[in-house]
Structure 1
Amino acid sequence: MEKKKKLGLVPRLIIGIILGILIGSFLPEPIIRVVITMSTLFSTFLKFVIPLMILAFVTMGIADLTQGAGKLLATTAGISYASTLVAGTCAFFVAITLFPKFISADVIQSIGNPEEGMLDSFFSIPLTPIMDVTAAVALAFILGLCISSMRGKEIGDTCYNFFSEFSKIINKVLNVVIIPLLPLYIMGTFANMTVSGQTFAILSVLWKVFLVVICLHLIYLVILFTVSGTISKKNPIGMLKNQVPGYLAAIGTQSSAACIPVNIKCAESNGVCQEIRNFVIPLCANIHMAGSMITITCCVTSVLLMSNMEINLGIIVPFIMTLGIAMIASPGAPGGSIMSALPFLPMVGIGTESALASLLIALYITQDSFGTACNVSGDNAIAAIIDLIYKKFIKKEEKKESDVSEDAEAEPEGN
């Protein structure tokens, strides 16, 4: 018996957008408000889960980061974070230069305030999060750093195992409840925007943003591999060709974690030694988010421009720097990075539960495959640099220390 193919998240999301537009255009107000009520209830639950998600995934991400070779870990994490910051900052400069050319004053005027003219839900259920997002981030850092430094020395594995299982529980909630219901959430948002008369003005802009984002992904990869190839003295074109299987696997799976086996093979083709490829590729799958950062930065910039809200380097850079850390070990499900970003949207003036936030989710997930492919491919550019550092500096240093140790042991025998 053949296994039935499940409809992917992106097709379901597109169906949700279409249904939302149709519902908002043709159905009577009471039915539209029913859909909006369901979307609002989901939004309340999402707000409750977000601090738990931050606590679970960031704690485990930091706890796992210090398990490995100290110098290599610090170097890999530093390069990955720098790459993510550079990608986001460059994306902002491109977006702020190009987007105003097609997000004109007429479009901004036709959109107006996205919150005006929208319908209210019939009712809502008060569900207060256990802690606010700032407290969740602070607690996650404290716990993650303490577990990583004390585990196996001052404490056992109990705390580590607890948060490992806790993160699996939250991941289950995301995969079974949050991700499957996202199309309903988006459907309610687009139904409400259609009622307020803003949907088509917004959609006329988003497809252009989509094209710019994908071009930025590809350009950034070419630059990253050129820099990596120059530093490691490898042919960047050959490295890019070797990366094609990893890129395609990421587009198909939308998961950095699922691409690790294929990506390790790509690293092997690029001449990266076994020790480094087995260390760097799984690590960067969790901490290198250049593609996701490009997408989120462009999406946020476009939404702020469409809403005629303030946007400048002073606003976006702190957001990028915070998000670069918050996305550590973001869940492997499609849309995991934008879920990690939601609590920090108020930094740029977008409410976590606002229509603009759900618009960002819709725009992000429709191209999540390409963002993941950029993340995964960039991991191998970093692996080539770390491989050079390992062979040129660390391995030689370890050999010297080994030779000195052997000489010290052999000296008493000579006496």
Structure 2
Amino acid sequence: MFSALTRLSLVTKIIIAIVLGAIVAFAFPQAANYVGLLGDLFIKALKSVAPILVFVLVLSSIANFKVVHGGNSNLKPILLMYFVGMLLASISAVTASILFPSTLYLSVDPNADLQPPGSIAEVLKNLLLSFITNPVTALSDANFIGILAWAVGLGAALRHASDTTKQVVSDISDAVNSIIRIVISFAPVGIFGLVVVTFATAGLDTLKNYSQLILVLVGTMFFVALVINPILVAIAIRKNPYPLVLKCLRESGITAFFTRSSAANIPVNLDLAKRLGVNESTASVSIPLGATINMAGAAVTITVLTLAAVHTLHIETSFLTMLVLSVVAVVTACGASGVAGGSLLLIPVACGLFGIKPEIAMQVVAIGMVISVLQDSTETALNSSTDVLFTAAVDQAKNK
């Protein structure tokens, strides 16, 4: 039996782990106290290797880049797809909120410890300041914008280094990749632990009061993943997009759903991009960058929860205001942290468009925390799978 299990694909093992985790959670809920450690260890391992992985891969890719590959020329269309995808996701969220308005119970006490940014300008300022962070601090804090900036700068400088130096950098990159493959091989075990904890602690009771809000959020994200994204991919590759879309959702989305961290899912996406034949010099930059700024799911969350608050408070809105909200949601989503719940702290920025007071906006954030079991998991699955999807789509289009 053990020999048969080892021959199964990673995705099959993960699906088996999910089923077994659900069974254990409902049959032995007390097991979550012990089995949960497996999930914590897996997420910790991914998060610990992700910063150094991104730094080394980007540095090596740029230092050893050859013009004939044309890999970096793909970045511009990938970034364009990121932006268009987020904007269409936000517009879809506006439409869903108008068709199915949700009501919130704004009697929840705001969490005084939360510190959301005060304005869009502050979000942009933080993003720009991230570029000039000390490299050691960037690595220790998993500041991927800062990591990318230093990796690109050092990589560009090392392009003029000797071939021996470049080979050393390449060998280090291969060594880090070997460690990543070992970590990813333990994904089924880690996800088993995460599933047990999720089902045992949350169940369904805490989700009943906000069932419609959850359906609007999750339904919109599914619409983006299965309709909006395939349309964009079809335009790029000019053929049936669903084989690629479903593969990315299956192999990247499932892992991201349970890790609830775009940053932690970077190694998974890089491994998938490699198996899809994506140019490594493209993937090693676009995927880490996507984990930082490509946040279609976050745009949906910010838009839906903001409009739910607007509906609850009976605030009049116009078509122009809705369009502005969509753009604001995209800009603020780019500033969302690549860790669990990162988008919720940006909701007060969007609420400020409608004159909603910070203390009320923080109550909306608190509600978001309550439903984050499904909201944040689905959001991360959409965010992370879209990174590798758009990267692969552009790469296939360029290679036709």
- Name the count of aligned residue pairs: 309
Question: Can you list the C-alpha shifts for 1:261-298, whole angstroms capped at 9, x where unaligned?
Answer: xxxxxxxxxxxxxxxxxxx7555455556999999523
Shift of residue 77 of structure 1?
1.8
Displacement of 1:303 after TM fit? 7.7
Q: 2:14 aligns with which of 9, 27, 47?
A: 9
- Contact kept? 1:52, 1:170, Cα under 8 Å: yes
Alpha carbons 1:89, 1:317 under 8 Å: kept = no
* TM-score, normalised with respect to structure 1: 0.55
Q: SS of the residue aligned with 1:104?
A: coil
Structure 1 counterpart of 2:239, one-letter code: L
Q: Give deviations 1:83-142, integer Å, cap 9, x for gaps.
A: 22222232222223324534611xx44997999xxxxxxxxxxxxx982223x6524532
One-letter identity of the residue aligned with 2:297:
C
Match of 2:392 among 361, 366, 376: 376
Q: Residues 363 and 14 (structure 1 numbering): CA distance in 2 closer, same or farther, change over 3 Å?
A: farther
Q: Which residue in the other structure is 2:331 paired with?
A: 317
Within a 5 Å distance, the mapping from 1:15-414 to structure 2 comes to: 16=21, 20=25, 22=26, 31-32=29-30, 34-36=31-33, 38-39=35-36, 42-43=39-40, 46-47=43-44, 49-65=46-62, 67-69=65-67, 72-99=70-97, 101-102=99-100, 104-105=102-103, 108-109=104-105, 131-134=140-143, 137-139=145-147, 141-151=149-159, 153=161, 156=165, 157-173=167-183, 175-178=184-187, 180-194=189-203, 197-198=206-207, 201=211, 204-205=215-216, 206-207=218-219, 209-224=221-236, 239-240=238-239, 255-260=272-277, 281-286=279-284, 296-298=295-297, 301-302=300-301, 305=304, 313-314=327-328, 316-320=330-334, 342=340, 345=343, 348=346, 356=372, 360-361=376-377, 364-365=380-381, 375-383=391-399
1:203–1:245 CA distance, 2 compared to 1 (3 A): closer
**1:64, distance to aligned residue in structure 2 (A):** 0.8
C-alpha RMSD of the superposition: 5.1
The alpha-carbon deviation at position 162 of structure 1 amounts to 2.3
- Residue matched to 1:398: none
Identity of aligned residues (%): 12
- Distance (Å, rounded) in 1 between the aligned partners of 2:139 and 2:72: 33
Give the partner amino acid of 1:189: T
Change (3 A) 1:207 1:257: same
The one-letter code of the counterpart of 2:95 is T
Amino acid of the structure 2 residue aligned with 1:185: L
Cα distance in 1, alignment partners of residues 383 and 342 from structure 2: 21
SS at 2:66 equivalent = coil
Contiguous gaps of at least 5 residues in structure 1: 116-128, 226-238, 261-279, 324-339, 385-415
Gaps of 5+ in 2: 112-137, 253-271, 311-324, 348-364
Alpha-carbon separation, structure 1, partners of 2:146 and 2:384: 28
Cα distance in 1, alignment partners of residues 196 and 214 from structure 2: 14
2:206 partner SS: coil
Which of these two proteins has the greater Rg computed from alpha carbons? 1
Counterparts in 2 of 1:130 and 1:151: CA distance versus 1, 3 Å: closer
* Aligned amino acid, residue 194 of structure 2: Y
SS at match of 2:161: coil
Question: For 1:257 and 1:354, how far apart are their aligned partners in 2?
Answer: 37
**Whole-Å Cα distance in 2 between the matches of residues 47 and 160 of structure 1?**
26
* CA deviation vs aligned residue, 1:190-223 (integer Å, no higher than 9, x gap): 3322275226827645356324421111222244
